[in-house]
C-alpha cells in the first residue's frame, strides 16, 4: 500500500517536470525563430500551438532552400566538370596539332636542289 501511495504522490511531480520541459523547449523555439519571423504574427500573445506551427513553417522553408542550394551546387559542379573536360579536350587537341606540325616539319625534305654528280 505504501508503494501505491508513493507512486500517487510522485505522478504529479513527474507531470509537472514534463510540462516544464515542454514549455522550456517551446520558449527556446520561439527565441530561435527570430524577430522577423515573429513579426508575421499579430501583436497578441503567441500560443504554444502558434509557435509550433511557425517552427514547422520555418523548418519547411529552410529545407526547401537547402534543396534549391543543393540543386544549384550540382548544376555548378556539372558545368564546371563539363568546362574542365572541354578545356582538357581543347588542350589535348592543341597539343596534338602542335606535335603533328613539328613531326611533319621534321619529315619534310629540305627545299634545296639535290646534288647529283652527273
Query: What tens digit of pLDDT does each residue of 72-86 get?
Result: 888 888 888 877 777
Give the tens place of pLDDT for each residue, 46-59: 899 999 999 999 89
**Which pTM value belongs to this model?**
0.56
10-100 sits in which CATH class? few secondary structures
Dist. CA 65–CA 72, nearest whole Å: 10
CB 46 within 8 A of CB 29: no
Q: Are 54 and 37 in contact (CB under 8 A)?
A: yes
Highest mean pLDDT among 11-20, 37-46, 69-78, 86-95: 11-20
Amino acid at each position: 500500500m505504501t508503494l501505491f501511495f508513493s507512486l500517487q504522490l510522485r505522478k504529479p511531480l513527474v507531470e509537472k517536470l514534463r510540462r516544464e520541459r515542454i514549455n522550456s523547449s517551446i520558449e527556446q523555439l520561439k527565441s530561435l525563430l527570430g524577430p522577423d519571423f515573429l513579426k508575421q504574427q499579430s501583436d497578441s500573445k503567441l500560443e504554444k500551438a502558434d509557435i509550433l506551427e511557425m517552427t514547422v513553417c520555418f523548418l519547411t522553408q529552410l529545407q526547401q532552400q537547402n534543396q534549391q542550394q543543393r540543386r544549384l551546387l550540382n548544376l555548378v559542379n556539372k558545368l564546371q566538370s563539363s568546362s574542365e573536360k572541354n578545356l582538357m579536350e581543347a588542350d589535348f587537341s592543341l597539343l596534338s596539332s602542335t606535335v603533328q606540325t613539328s613531326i611533319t616539319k621534321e619529315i619534310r625534305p629540305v627545299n634545296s636542289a639535290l646534288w647529283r654528280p652527273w
